[in-house]
Amino acid sequence: MAHGNIVVNTIEQDPGRKRAPVPKAGRLYIYAIVLVASIGGFLFGFDLVVIAGALPFLEADFNLSAAMKGFAVSSAILGAVTGPLFGMWFTERLGRRKTMMLAAFFFMISTIGTAAASGIWDFAVWRFFGGVGIGLAMMSSPIYIAELSPPHLRGVLVNVNQLSNVIGINLAVITSYVFSFEGWGWRWMFAAQAVPVALLIAGLLLIPESPRWLAARNRIGEALKVLSRINGPEQSELEMKEIEKELKQETGAFRELFQPGIKTALFIGIVIMIFSQINGVNMMLMYAPSILAESGISVGSNAILSSIPIYLLILLTTILAFGLIRRFSRRGLLITSVLLMALGHIIMAINLQMHWPPMFTLVPMLIGTGSFTLGLAPLSWVIVSEIYPNRIRSKALAVVCFFLYAASFVTAQFFPMLTEWFIETFDSAAGVYWIFAAICAACALFSWKMVPETKGLSLEKISEFWRDRQRKV
């Protein structure tokens, strides 16, 4: 299975295993469940971009320096770093569904607090609490969706979380534009988040717990009931036997993460998630109005309006990603996506060095963000939600998400400062984008050498792959 430090990137299919088709009622049921669970992704996207629209007004109201602008954005991400640390315990003890409910509570108090903030420090505190909600939701929601999804639909259904994220981004842009007026406008941008939070709370009261979590708690009857409603009774019996077989081979202890085979999977997840944050495209999304304003497009509502093509494109590419994920391999799509992102950053760097017209700045931003949402954005979550064994999945996701948000915090905090330094030193921010291009190239190389192909496999079959590697080390 391995040659030196390089993973052989194919997991063998089980030729004797044929899945019965998912009944129509089961498909509708799983779609409804995924729709509710993905509202957490919506709130992540909304929060990610509503701060971008509010930032020029916050800067004027609170007289923010470059460092404080970074802090206004990154305070939520700092909260998200702590989310997985608590989430690891909550998803194990309380379950995936109750952890999402706890996330909704943090979203609600953040919504109220940020809308009523009187200064940048209390604003940052309430943003921090919202970040805790993000960390809890974005850890528990992908696990939950993956654990309920039939194998052939898992990649597509986990990507619903990404689509919901992008819809949240687009509605945040519209909300920012509607409320882009002096005075209390930016407060209404944050207050608008109360609507999806209320929908999330209501939806979570209606959906079931993860059957794999229930099985791990010896609640076999309840787990089988959930699986039967999705897959039908015959297929559910087969799936439950696989789940029980795997659970007998696992202890669920934290030390299991560091056994040879699983340790490799953990390393892959950590690196992929770090790359998903430090590649530069998230900074384009978070700071889009500010980037366009600095390139010569006027601030405020005009800069927000000019950034709309970017957000509309990522909505379109996220929808297109459903078909691509079903048709192409995980690895091939991932590598292609990252290489196109590198191209976007190279064009942006040349654009800034050559001082091309301000509106041309949109071209590399469109290339970078479109490529990101076609591949790396959805596939990073798909991959980490499916490559870990059942009993330690939440622990592995906690570690992975900690590094994800730590990388996101560092990038969001220092991006304005690094950009300002390059402009002051070289009279251009081009150097920032050359760095991002190099990071994307490194991500493509890593994906080619290390990431295994998991398309169409059951979670139990993927777990078996890592246990086989462990036995052969």
352-357 long-range contacts, CB within 8 A, separation 24+: 352/295, 352/428, 352/429, 352/430, 352/433, 353/428, 353/430
Which is higher by pLDDT, 183 or 96?
96
Check: CB of residue 411 under 8 Å from CB of residue 283. yes
Check: CB of residue 398 under 8 Å from CB of residue 85. yes
Buried b (16+ CB within 10 A) or exposed e, 305-322: bbbeebbebbeebbeebb
Between 114-128, 185-199, 204-218, 454-468, the lowest mean confidence (pLDDT) is in 454-468
Query: What residue type is assigned to position 187 of the chain?
Result: R
What is the share, in percent, of the chain residues with pLDDT greater than 90? 18
Check: CB of residue 104 under 8 Å from CB of residue 141. no
Angle value at C-alpha 273, between 272 and 276, nearest 5 degrees: 90
Which is higher by pLDDT, 473 or 28?
28
Q: Phi/psi of residue 287, each to 5°? A: -115, 20
Q: Say whether pLDDT at 357 is over 70.
A: yes
Q: Tens digits of per-residue pLDDT, 388-423?
A: 877 677 788 888 888 988 888 788 777 778 888 888
Q: Tens digits of per-residue pLDDT, 365-384?
A: 889 989 998 889 888 888 88
Q: Does domain 21-207+249-472 have CATH number 1.20.1250.20?
A: yes
Q: Tens digits of per-residue pLDDT, 130-148?
A: 989 988 887 788 888 888 8
Burial of 255 per CB tally in 10 Å (0-12, 13-18, 19+): exposed
Between 5-19, 114-128, 241-255, 405-419, the lowest mean confidence (pLDDT) is in 5-19
Between 107-111, 150-154, 354-358, the lowest mean confidence (pLDDT) is in 150-154
**pLDDT band, residue 287 (cuts 50/70/90):** low
Q: Say whether pLDDT at 470 is over 60.
A: no
Q: Say whether pLDDT at 363 is over 60.
A: yes
Tell me the C-alpha distance between 15 and 461, whole Å.
12
For 151, how many CA atoms within 13 A lie in the half-sphere containing its CB? 19
For all residues of the chain together, what is the average pLDDT? Answer: 81
Q: Say whether pLDDT at 328 is over 50.
A: yes
Q: Tens digits of per-residue pLDDT, 307-316?
A: 677 778 888 8
